[in-house]
Amino acid sequence: MIRFDCDYSEGCIPKILERLRDTNFEQNPGYSMDPHCERARRLIREFCDAPKADVHFLVGGTQTNMTLIAAALRPHQGVLAASTGHVNVHESGAIEATGHKVLPLPSLDGKVTADQVREALDAHFHDPHAEHTVQPRLLYISQPTENGTIYSLKELTVLSAVCREYGVWFYIDGARLGYALAAPENDATAADLARLADAFYIGGTKVGALFGEALVLTAPGLKQDFRYLLKQRGGMLAKGRLLGIQFECLMEDGEYLAISRHAVEQARRMKASFLQKGWPLLYDSPTNQQFPIIDRHTMELLGEKYSFDIWADLGDGRTAVRFCASWATKPEDVDALLSDIQTLPEGGTPHC
């Protein structure tokens, strides 16, 4: 069985394990106060062209999202997010468990528009009974989205402008950030994110690390006392060096982008094959996740050899499924998939 069902099936880039081994008996202070974390922070600031940013390391995405949001909001404030956003649907209520409502904006492709955001903010701040409702005070987006789509630089720029106009924090979940940065269609750099957002994170777990996310805080108002919040939400790793070392490895020598490019290339090979076969795509994703729509028979045939994620039952006998590539995807595994797809019988999988 070859797994394409998620982008964290393997461990990490071998360089990280080597570095962990080489540094294993160094004696370091705990809680990310060690030289590796220091250097990783410096490399990340350079990567984002954000010399004044605070950089914190956390273990996972849900932890990062809930910690940032809890740090940013007062109790009556909530989070604007796409209805499909990870914080709205796939964190078991982690945001609500910190006391905050997620205010969903309808989305078909995982993205929200500046007009939607402005409309939601206007609706609230012009409501004479606003105080009976949750005050939107942070915009959460993901880049790329959970659906593989990406925001253009222009889209990010107007989202940022709306947020600043209304005094709303702009936060970007970059669990798969490398795969957006590496997409040929992408025109928003890490430096753009640092400039336009108040906070964002650079995902490690899904992009080459064993685990770990680097949260970049650029807004001065979000920096104060953040380490207390880290500790309180269970996100302060005792051996912080593990996070520092991993991000050193990812940020050195363009590694993060290089491994991301590999993943995107493999995903695009799949995409081309799906399209050539006449399979519609649920979303037009330029990144490492691809969402072909296939019929039951095709699912069964592919399922004998490959694992993939069931994304949505379309109710007409067809299912949207998800294939993921990652930094670890072997080209030969994709070769095999492509070859098997070509030999599938024609005629199934009706078009949209």
Closest distance to a copy of itself from the beta carbon of 181 (Å)? 20
Q: Which residues are CB-contacts of 300 (< 8 A; sequence separation ≥ 6)?
A: none
Query: 305, 3 in Cβ contact below 8 A?
Result: no
Pick 13 or 251: Cβ nearer a copy of itself: 13
Applying CB under 8 A, does 218 fall inside the site for a copy of itself?
Answer: no
Q: Minimum Å distance from CB 179 to a copy of itself?
A: 15
**How far is Cα 295 from Cα 348, in angstroms, rounded to an integer?**
6
x-or-dash string of contact with a copy of itself, 37-76, rule CB under 8 A? ----------------------xxxxx--xx--xx--xxx
Burial per residue of 113-129, b for 16 or more beta-carbon CB atoms within 10 angstroms, e otherwise: bbebbbebbeebeeeee
Residues 229 and 152: their CA atoms lie apart, in Å, by 32
78 is a contact residue toward a copy of itself (CB under 8 A)? yes
Please tell me whether residue 206 binds a copy of itself under the rule CB under 8 A.
yes
- Distance in Å, CB of 36 to a copy of itself, minimum: 11
Binding part of the chain for a copy of itself, among 129-137, 163-171, 273-281, 290-298 by CB under 8 A, reads 129-137
**Nearest approach, Cβ of residue 72 and a copy of itself (Å):** 10
- Residue 273 CB, nearest approach to a copy of itself (Å): 21
- How far apart CA 240 and CA 243 sit, in angstroms, is 5
| Helical residues (DSSP H) of the chain, grouped into ranges | 14-22, 35-48, 61-72, 86-89, 94-97, 114-125, 153-166, 177-181, 190-196, 220-223, 226-232, 241-251, 255-276, 296-303, 331-342
Segment interacting with a copy of itself, rule: CB under 8 A, options 166-174, 190-198, 223-231, 287-295: 223-231
Q: Which of 82, 163, 236, 321 is the binder for a copy of itself (CB under 8 A)?
A: 236
Q: Whole-number minimum distance, CB 248 to a copy of itself, in Å?
A: 14
Residue from 113, 116, 135, 189 binding a copy of itself (CB under 8 A): 135
Complex with a copy of itself: residue 78 or 286, whichever CB lies closer: 78
Residue from 148, 174, 235, 286 binding a copy of itself (CB under 8 A): 235
Whole-angstrom distance, CA of residue 204 vs CA of residue 175: 7
The amino acid sitting at 85 is G
